[in-house]
Structure 1
Amino acid sequence: MSILPLPSLLLLLFLLPFHVISQPTTNRNDQTTLLNLKHFWSNPPSLNHWNQSSNPCSWPEITCTSATITGINLANKDIHGTAVPPFICDLKNITHLDLKFNYITGEFPTTLYNCAKLQYLDLSQNFFVGRIPDDISRLSPELWYLNLFNNNFTGDIPVDISRLSKLSSLQLHMNQFHGSFPEEIGYLNELEELNLEYNDFKPSRLPPSFTRLKKLRKFYMAEAGLIGELPGNLSGMGALEVLDLSRNQINGSIPSDLFMLKNLTEVYLYMTNLTGGIPDSVEALNMKIIDLSENKLTGKIPDGFGNLMSLTNLTLMFNQLSGEIPESIGRLPHLQDVRIFDNKLSGTLPPDFGRYSDLKRFEVSINQFTGSLPENLCYNRKLEGLSVFDNTLSGEIPKSYENCSSLKDFQVYGNRFSGAIPDGLWKVSMLEQMMMSDNSFSGELPQELAPNLLRLEISNNRFSGQIPAGVSSWTTLRVFKASNNLLHGAIPQDLTALANLETLLLDGNRFTGALPATIVSWSSLNTLNLSGNQLTGQIPDGLGFLEVLTDLDLSRNNLSGQIPSQLGRHLVRLDLSANNLTGIIPSQLSNGAFDKSFLNNPGLCSDNPSLRLSSCSSRSKTRPSNKISAKIVAIIATTALLLVLLVVLMTICVVVVYRRRKYGLNSKWKFTYFQKLDFTESTILSRLTEKNVIGHGGSGKVYRIAVNRSGDFVAVKKISSKKDLDQRLEKEFLAEVEILSTIRHSNIVKLIGCISCDNSKLLMYEYLENRSLDRWLHRKQPPSSRGLNGSVRHVVLDWPKRLHIALGAARGLCYMHHDCSPAVVHRDVKSSNVLLDSEFNAKIADFGLARILAKESEPNTMSMVAGSFGYMAPEYAHTTKVNEKIDVYSFGVILLELTTGREASNGDEHSSLAEWALRQAVDDAPIVDVLDNEIMDPVYLNEMTGVFKLGLWCTSTLPTSRPSMKKVCQMLLRCSMAAETGKSVVDVANHVPLLKLENV
């Protein structure tokens, strides 16, 4: 180690203090500007470290270059405010400004025009409103990044935006634009990313000028009102890597040069109404994702797809493609997801599928495939879903499948498979669903099933033997359908131990003996069909005590004895025909609803003629021996005929009077409309008939009315006119008209007009095809789809749809609370008041109880409590105080419904859903145990957990502990981004604040 000479050492010690003193520090004025900025935004806690005593260049949100502030990053800092202050541009050298994920409102901040050096501006995921200014090019000419994503901007995108010539990234998606977008965007020569998706633009074609964007790498314009054919010269966009034009009304064919774009890696053209064939020429050899689903494509799958060595997802479902699958596709090394169901494809399935890649989903159902299943589909043990139903496949299930430890969903019904199911396949640990009906499978049922199996469907096969003794271990099973097999023996008592069983179909087999005597454990059973067997003995009394049983079929057996008196308590459908039952029909079943339920039981009787059974009273009386003369019979018949004619005439008179009163034909109607209509009030009034009723509410009926020959409909709510309700209903009618006629938002149901007279009130809304959310969640008249073989399959509302619905409903409420002036509180938020259009976009409805908030100087209370049990905030029941937090509570209950699948009033037998969910959290129950098993998927676990926790936060007992709807929107958006991208954008589940017992 060398030692410096003494003179040099002294010189160094002398200069050291000057070196420390000359460390660069920011300008004092710049520090003052930042502190003023903090104060302007109400001193958010996240910026507590901004103070006079520290150097701004040391603050993590600040970027400095040579002691000059050049960047501010305040993303997700819980900033609230109505504007961006003008003095922010006192920071003369600022080039980077990031304010995303906050709560800033107001119009576009033109104050930023004075930031002369600004290059990067991110205002996304705030609550800006109004139009983008026509002079937006007054922003810095150096600007290369502009992000206004997920705000509430409206109107047109101004042409002036095309004058920001250095833009390389323009993000305008998920706003409320309802005008046009300028074709001049095509002249932004430096543009690399363009995102205009999820806006309600006026219908327009994709401008040919966009194909001049030679540097454009990512182009997103899904659900943006595109129509017409795509430009033919897409090859001009030579740098294009990602193209998403999905969910538009594009017509015509796929441009022949689309797959000639050599840099293309992802293309999404699903639900765009495309026709014709898929181009044969494929040079985009780095392609990873192809989604052309839900179009009208014909022809073959191009052989060139077999050269796409990077392909991971091939989605071609819901088209009219024909021919065979190229064998080379089966050998692609990175293929994970194949969804080509519902086409007209034929031939055999390529044998190499799964052999060379980590295949996860293989869905080729509803085609015309023949031959056997590929042996190696689960070669790498990553396969999660196998769906080949409704084809003509044959042979046995490969024995290799019993080692497929990753398999969750196994659907092979509607084919010609035969032989026994491999023993190990029944017990794959991850398996949740086995659907094998309508084949020729044989063999016996296993003693043990997969521990997570929820659904087992084996109807219309040749399974034989008895129901195994180990059936009591099938504890997770909810649906067991085994109709029309060769099963025999007695119905074992152990089968009744399955407390989670909801549907049990064993009809059309060879079961004998008596039914189990004790069946109270079937607490979840709602459908039971044991018809067409050889069962004997009596109907157990216990069937009448099953609280949720609504559908019972015991027909075509040898049952005897009397019908239990308790049996009619909950049944909607009953069939006991073709047995040996005796005695009197119980009073609860002796009505026309069961007119075909008891046929071919000679020993049964009823005094209700609609049941078509012998009269019980006639059996105990002696018939008179004397015959009635023909003259007396003629007199009786003539008298009866005259009476019938008189009744008919009186009925016609009554109906005419009733209809005139009901539809107010003698009254003077007032017709008020809020948009241009092509029908009159007579169109509505003449069609208010029972056949058009689609629902009932607390204030009256709801009708679905056709208003023209094009098949357009409106929903009409008729306010009841009972005298004791007139005053309340009049207030509800006026409240709904007042609110809905003044607010406009894509997530709030649109009021078209109203019709009123002295004794009747009608409200007309847009008709939403998918009706209310509760019908989907809680199986109220459950939606279904019909397969090619005529079978009806329940349509499950999967998690992505549920999250999309939650975000839409939250946006509607957020608009009411934060963007309406004055704010509006709904007061009756519930899943039945969340309506869904054909694309499952959510809209808040039913504003009869809503209240426009009073000014601060006026009392915000109501004279009575209004709302629905399970959704009402606890403080509202005591104080009748009205503020936004009662809606937040109710919306939190909806979030709990979406994540758990339970109804709001049904946590358990002692509590509501919100109370039950809180108890699970307090008891540290694993969250995965409370989530809805029907849609549970590890892929979405993080997002589902986050939304469940958000529901708990919203339903906090103390109103002050609940988040605002702005915060709720922001959290749900994070979840949505995570779900859509497949990436954990943020750890959503851990972003919700920890619950404290004193707050909840």
Structure 2
Amino acid sequence: MFKLPFPFLNLFLSLLLTSIPFLVISQNVNTELDILLKLKQQLGNPPSLQSWASSSSPCNWTEIYCTNGKVTSLLLSDKDIKVTIPATICALRNLTVLDLSYNNIPGEFPRVVFNCSKLQSLDLSQNYFVGPIPDDIDFRLSTLKYLNLGANNFSGDIPPAIGNLTKLQYLYLNSNQFNGTLPNEIGYLANLVELGLAYNGFVPSPIPAEFGMLSKLTFMWIRNANLIGLIPDSFANLSSLKQLDLAINNVEGSIPGGLFLLKNLTYLYLFLNKLSGEIPQKVEAWNLVEIDLAMNNLTGSIPEDFGKLQNLKLLNLYRNQFSGEIPSSIGLISTLKTFKVFTNNLSGVLPPELGLHSKLEFFEVSANHFSGQLPENLCAGGVLVSVIAFSNNLTGEVPRSLGNCNTLLMVHLYNNNFTGEIPSGIWTAISMTSLMLSDNSFSGELPSSLAWNFSRLELNNNKFSGAIPVGISRWVNLIVFEASNNMFSGEIPVEVTSLSRLNTLMLDGNQLSGQLPTKIISWKLLTTLNLSRNALSGQIPAVMGSIPVLLYLDLSQNHFSGKIPSELGQLKLLVLNLSSNQLSGQIPGQFDNLAYENGFLNNSNLCAANPVLNLPNCYISSHNSNKLSSKVLAMILVFSITISMATAILTLVIVRHNTRKKQNRDLATWKMTTFHKVDFTEANILEGLTESNLIGSGGSGKVYRIVVNHIGEFVAVKRISSNRKFDGKLEKEFAAEVQILGTVRHSNIVKLLCCISSEESKLLVYEYMENQSLDSWLHGKNRRSSPRTNSIHHVVLDWPKRMRIAIGAAQGLCYMHHDCSPPIIHRDVKSSNILLDSKFEARIADFGLAKLLAKQGEAHTMSTVAGSFGYIAPEHAYTTKVNEKIDVYSFGVVLLELVTGREPRTGDENTNLAEWAWRRNAEGKPIVDCLDEGIKESCYLEEMTTVFKLGLICTSTIPSPRPSMKDVLQILRRSSLRNYGERLER
């Protein structure tokens, strides 16, 4: 055997020993490389991981961090991963950080990560995980310092075992579907620095007092989590706390004084709760940057110590019951940017130094009792965005300095006692969009130029004068222009018709004269035009009939003359008022119905061809006005010869008429207006109005099912009638339904085929819905009569049909709210107004109470509360201002009907269905116990649970948390698709 000389042996051994670490590291990298490449394959080879290749070291890959050559961090955030987490991932034995956030990973909590024995940071946020968190998480992941499970679909209880993760510093469980209580055990996480539990549907629970033991906690985020009860006094012990967010809950009682003594507290968000009492007057939280206590029931005065918070940037105290004056020291805060105290009972003079020492951006003090002038230096910092001070007792002129404030976006000063002219710079501030000055005593003339993005100008009830400038053509983005009851004079320039985005134009109650423009350039979006109470003259231009979406036209109390253009009949007007003019001739036939009953008063020379309104008959009028011709004597002779013949004929006609009077209706008294192509006449409908065809009745009339042709097709006819002359209330309901349904086209809104009207009755003819109303299926004791056979059979509406009905009805309401211009509020959404065709496709019906929102996104004032008991949104109890959210509430009740099978009028103990569902949820009763026993199938439980929760959200007592119908529809579709996919997999 060959032997190495001893010196060479020493050298070899030395080299071998020095190479061992390199060999180990190389072997480790190769092993982890194989693991990672296998992992990539198991994840579906996402394109975002193309750089993972055997030709390079994993420690050089963007998603990998290594320590001493070993993979310790795997960062796979936002990599479009759509599969469950492979067990291979924990073959990386040194893994301490695993980030899989912002992917599309399905399934339950991935127990495979329990095999990552050294894991310190786990981020699974923003995925599609479902089900509970395992009860043994503390045993399997005891080394965790960071855990983020936010924005998933985890449900059930948060396991108390979380409290045993003693090393945990960051815990985020926000934005899930947890429906248990807040575990007290979280309060024992002594090392916890940040806690996020926001946006969960916990059983209504108080905040555990143990949370006050988290002495290292800097961030507590429990917004919108169904909290109740008091804020624990133990929170005064949170000495490290920087941000406290308990907003959008039902926390009540007073604010503990200790909160305002926390020296590190920087952000305090308690808005939209039920807090009451006064704010502690002693404040030593000198680091406070933002305070938001808005939308509570807080009383008393604003603490003087707020003026000592020299880091304060935001102070939101709006919608409370604060009284007294604003401390003048607040005007001295050099950091203040947002100051919102609107809708309180504050009074006195506004601090004159507001804005002088800071870069103030938002100044909103409306709906209080402030007096005196606006502070002179609001825009001294040069960044002021809004001045909202309407509904106060402010006086004097608008500060000249605001005219030099180019950053202004909104100035709303209406309903005060301001005088003088508006600083010229306000009109042209480069960012200005909305200027609302109504109900003051402002004077001066309109400028020829406005800021390029000006969209809203309201000047009603002031003393503005002069002409409407020709330069109005440069106001290109104007949507609303209201200047009623001023002193404007001169002609209306044709340039006003070039405003292509204009939706509302109101110039009534001025001194305008001359003729209307005979050319309309760009009025494609105008819905409201009011020029009444002026001195306008000449003929009404025929071109006005070409305004495509005009709904409201008021030209009353002017000096218009001549005929009403027949082209106006092309418009789908809800309101037409041409009264108190000098118009003559025949009115367009489309307006000869009671919907326009008061639209033609005080025009002595108007007539109608087939009068329904209180107007003369045009043919009779014209004969009476004819002058005797040169053949008058001959006519008299002919008359004398034929009078006896006429008498005989008349006698015969009277006899025959009397004998047939009870058998035939006088069709001449009925007028038919069609909205779709129909193959029937008035006679077909009128002959079918018999008791044998009656299928229902309601508060405004009866409903008939009438066959209209030889192949047995049906229509549904709703008859609105009165024992006396058709009353005003029913007339309004009729007009509303006709105007809306006559123009709306959507597969989930019932089709109005035509309307037939007489003086005492109105007939609405709809497509016939074979399966009648949802209400009859849900609450009709499961007895169904076939419309063709009249046989009665027992039927339970299964869940797939209910879900399809929910989606269909949501599609109809979504169209009304988001796709109609202006949007439509139904105001009487209920299961009896959701009709079902032969395939159980839903149609929204009965628009008798619907109203159009003239201005999208704004509340509309109703004179009376409309709707049906059990479906009426709570805000109707204290306001008549409503918006789309009242329909969302009512639809939420329908969702609860669908999922529980219960009627809306009754819950338990004299509560309605929404209140019953909320109380059951608050008591922690399992949702499955609330479901309709007739449809409680295991494969649909998750879907039904989702719909139940959505019904709760939609029936929130406060409108703001309710989702839009667009969001509701998206949730329903997503839930249905997800459940369908899971059933396919099974």
Per-residue CA deviation, residues 539-563 of structure 1 (Å, 9 max, x unaligned), is: 1111111112221100001111110
Structure 1 pair 279–415 and aligned structure 2 pair: CA distance change class (3 A)? same
Structure 2 unaligned residues grouped into runs of 5+: 1-10, 626-638, 644-650, 667-687, 706-732, 752-772, 779-783, 814-828, 864-877, 886-937, 944-952
Partner of 2:969: 844
CA distance in 2, matches of 1:366, 1:429: 28
1:166 Cα deviation after fit: 1.1
Matched, 1:103 2:104: yes
- Tell me, yes or no, if structure 1 residue 156 matches structure 2 residue 281: no
Residue 275 of structure 1, CA deviation: 1.3
**Deviation of the 1:663 alpha carbon:** 12
Q: Which residue of 1 aligns with 2:86?
A: 85
Question: For 2:32, what is the secondary structure of its paired residue?
Answer: helix
What secondary structure is seen at the aligned counterpart in 1 of 2:206?
coil
Aligned with residue 43 of structure 2, among 29, 41, 44: 41
**Amino acid across the alignment from 1:604:** L
Deviation at 1:67, TM superposition (A): 2.1
2:747/2:812 contact within 8 Å kept = no
The 1:742/1:458 distance shift into structure 2, 3 A limit, reads closer
Amino acid of the residue matched to residue 611 of structure 1?
Answer: L
Indicate the residue corresponding to 1:617 in structure 2: 619
Question: 1:277-356 residue pairs with structure 2 within 5 A?
Answer: 277-356=278-357
Distance 1:38 1:222, change over 3 A: same
Counterpart-to-counterpart distance in 1, 2:191 and 2:29: 35
For 1:66, the equivalent position in structure 2 comes to: 68
Secondary structure of the corresponding residue to residue 104 of structure 1: coil
1:129/1:514 CA distance change after superposition, 3 Å: same
Change (3 A) 1:852 1:197: closer
Q: Is the 8 A contact 2:318 2:341 kept in 1?
A: yes
SS at match of 1:46: helix
Q: What SS class does the counterpart of residue 407 from structure 1 fall into?
A: coil
1:147-192 Cα offsets, whole Å, 9 max, x none, are: 0011111111111111111111100001121223311111111111
Deviation, 1:589, is: 1.2
Determine the C-alpha separation between the residues in 1 that align with 2:832 and 2:555. 51
2:860 pairs with 778, 784, 787, which one? 784
After TM superposition, the structure 1 = structure 2 runs for residues 548-587 of structure 1, keeping only pairs within 5 Å, are 548-570=549-571, 571-587=573-589
Q: Note closer, same or farther for the CA distance 1:504–1:740 as it changes in structure 2 (3 Å cut).
A: closer
Q: Secondary structure at the match of 1:393?
A: strand
2:58 paired residue among 56, 61, 68: 56
For 2:322, the aligned partner's letter is L
Secondary structure of 1:161's counterpart equals helix
**Per-residue deviation, 1:853:** 10
Which letter maps to 1:299?
G
Separation in structure 1 between the aligned mates of residue 879 and residue 75 of structure 2, nearest angstrom: 56
Matched, 1:414 2:415: yes
Secondary structure of 2:471's aligned partner:
helix
Q: Which amino acid aligns with 2:463?
A: R
Separation in structure 2 between the aligned mates of residue 470 and residue 69 of structure 1, nearest angstrom: 70
Check 1:457–1:592 CA distance in 2 against 1; reply closer, same or farther (3 A cut).
same
Structure 1: how far apart are the matches of 2:398 and 2:835? 68
Q: Residues 438-483 of structure 1, C-alpha deviation per residue, up to 9 Å, x if partnerless?
A: 1000111112222221111111000111112322222222211110
Q: 1:718, 1:761 within 8 Å by CA — same for their partners in 2?
A: no
**Cα deviation, residue 741, structure 1:** 11
Counterparts of 1:852 and 1:55, CA distance in 2 = 40
Q: CA deviation at 1:615?
A: 2.8
- When residues 792 and 487 of structure 1 are mapped into structure 2, their CA distance, relative to the original with a 3 A threshold, is farther
Q: Which amino acid aligns with 1:132?
A: I
Aligned partner of residue 560 in structure 1, secondary structure: strand
Against the structure 1 CA distance between its residues 535 and 201, is the aligned structure 2 distance closer, same or farther, given a 3 Å change threshold?
same
Instruction: Calculate the TM-score normalised by the size of structure 1.
Output: 0.67
Partner in structure 1 of residue 361 of structure 2 = 360
Q: Name the SS for the 1:484 alignment partner.
A: coil
Deviations 1:69-95 (Å, cap 9, x if unpaired)? 22211222222212x233322322221
Q: Deviations over 1:932-988 (max 9, x none)?
A: xxxxxxxxxxxxxxxxxxxxxxxxxxxxxxxxxxxxxxxxxxxxxxxxxxxxxxxxx
> In the alignment, which residue of structure 2 is the partner of 1:276?
277
TM-score, with length taken from structure 2: 0.68
Cα drift, residue 276 of structure 1: 1.4
SS of 1:453's partner is: coil
Match of 2:393 in 1: 392
Measured in 2, the distance between the counterparts of 1:480 and 1:132 equals 57
Task: Please say if residues 101 and 123 of structure 2, whose CA atoms lie closer than 8 Å, have aligned partners that are also in contact.
Answer: yes
1:250 and 1:283 map into 2 onto residues whose CA distance is 23
Q: Which amino acid aligns with 1:382?
A: V
On the 8 A contact 2:777/2:797 being kept in 1, the answer is no
Q: Structure 2 CA distance, aligned partners of 1:734 and 1:326?
A: 63
Amino acid at match of 1:472: S
| Distance apart, 1:345 and its partner CA | 0.9
TM-superposed CA distance for 1:374, in Å, is 0.7
| Separation in structure 1 between the aligned mates of residue 589 and residue 843 of structure 2, nearest angstrom | 43
Q: Are residues 766 and 357 of structure 1, via their aligned partners in 2, closer, same or farther at CA, if it must alter by over 3 Å? A: farther
Change (3 A) 1:608 1:203: farther
Q: Post-superposition shift, 1:57?
A: 2.1
Amino acid at match of 1:279: P
Q: Is the 8 A contact 1:173 1:196 kept in 2?
A: yes
Deviation per CA, 1:836-870: give whole Å up to 9, x if none.
97324222278799889999999x9xxxxxxxxxx
Alignment match, 1:31: 33
Q: 1:215-614 to 2 correspondence within 5 Å?
A: 215-570=216-571, 571-607=573-609, 609-614=611-616
Q: Is the 8 A contact 1:105 1:129 kept in 2?
A: yes
Which amino acid in 1 is paired with 2:580?
A
Shift of 1:27: 4.2
Alpha-carbon spacing, 1:402–1:445, altered in 2? closer, same or farther (3 Å): same
Which residue is equivalent to 1:931?
Answer: none
How far 1:498 moved relative to its partner? Answer: 2.1
Give the counterpart letter for 1:60 in structure 2: T
Equivalent-residue separation in structure 1 for 2:617 and 2:531 (angstroms):
28
Contact 1:735–1:847 (8 Å) recurs in 2: no
Residue 385 (structure 1) shift:
1.1
CA contact (8 A) 1:373 1:393 kept: yes
Shift of 1:344: 1.1
The 8 Å contact of residues 747 and 843 in structure 1, kept in 2 or not, is answered as: no
Question: How far apart, CA to CA, are the structure 2 residues paired with 1:756 and 1:507?
Answer: 41
Alpha-carbon spacing, 1:150–1:317, altered in 2? closer, same or farther (3 Å): same
1:249 is paired with a residue whose SS is: coil
Contact 1:265 1:288 in 2 (8 A): yes
* Cα distance per residue 1:387-441 (max 9 Å; x no partner): 1111111100111111101111111111110001112221111111111111000
| Secondary structure of 2:178 counterpart | coil
* 1:520 Cα deviation after fit: 3.8
**1:823–1:656 Cα change, 3 Å:** closer
| Structure 1 unmatched ranges of 5 or more | 1-10, 627-631, 665-689, 703-713, 798-818, 825-833, 861-1000
CA contact (8 A) 1:718 1:762 kept: no
2:135 is aligned to: 134
Give the superposed CA RMSD.
Answer: 5.0
Matched, 1:737 2:780: no
CA 1:822–1:56 in structure 2 vs 1: closer, same or farther (change >3 Å)?
farther
1: CA distance between counterparts of 2:229 and 2:398?
46
User: Counterpart amino acid of 2:616?
Assistant: S
Query: Aligned partner of 1:230: which letter?
Result: I
Say if 2:834 and 2:844, in contact at 8 Å, map to a contact too. Answer: no
Which range moved further: 198-207 or 177-186? 177-186
Give percent identity, aligned residues only.
Answer: 42
8 Å CA contact retained: 1:823, 1:852: no
- Contact 2:39–2:89 (CA<8 Å) still a contact in 1? yes
The whole-number CA distance in structure 2 between the counterparts of 1:103 and 1:849 is: 15
Q: Residues 592 and 795 from structure 1, CA distance in 2 versus in 1: closer, same or farther, beyond 3 angstroms?
A: closer
> Are the aligned partners of 1:457 and 1:480 in contact in 2 as well (CA < 8 Å)?
yes
2:148 aligned with 1:124:
no
SS at match of 1:581: strand
